Amino acid sequence: MKKSKNRDARVFLPTLDLHGYKSEDVFDAVEAFLLKHQDATQVRLMPGKGTGKVKAIVVDYLSKANYPWSHERMPNGQNNEGVMIVYME
């Protein structure tokens, strides 16, 4: 896991890149990552766009666990549909 910049270039966020994960491994990986970074105010999850299976699992997990989230914004103001910012507070 690496730390990455969020939409505000001055802030670094813990990041979980889910590219290449199998669907059956996503839930546990997200849960472990969020528990590890429970003291952070925000984290970044990168499910990618792909077929949408990984993203659907992430959205389902976040919804059931009541984590608010939004898509990361690109410099042009558009939503980056493959990157999610999770608000931990």
pLDDT of 37-83, one tens digit each?
A: 999 999 999 999 888 999 999 999 999 999 999 999 988 989 999 99
Q: Specify the CATH architecture of the domain 2-87.
A: 2-Layer Sandwich (3.30)
- Token representation of residue 2: 């690496």
- Which residues, 6 or more positions from 10, have their beta carbon under 8 angstroms from its beta carbon? none
Question: What would the mean pLDDT of 10-23 be, rounded to a whole number?
Answer: 89
Q: What is the pTM of this model?
A: 0.84
Alpha helices in the chain (DSSP H): 23-36, 53-64
Q: Is the pLDDT of residue 13 over 70?
A: yes
CA 52 to chain centre: 14
State the pLDDT at residue 5: 45
* Residues paired with 5 in a beta bridge: 12
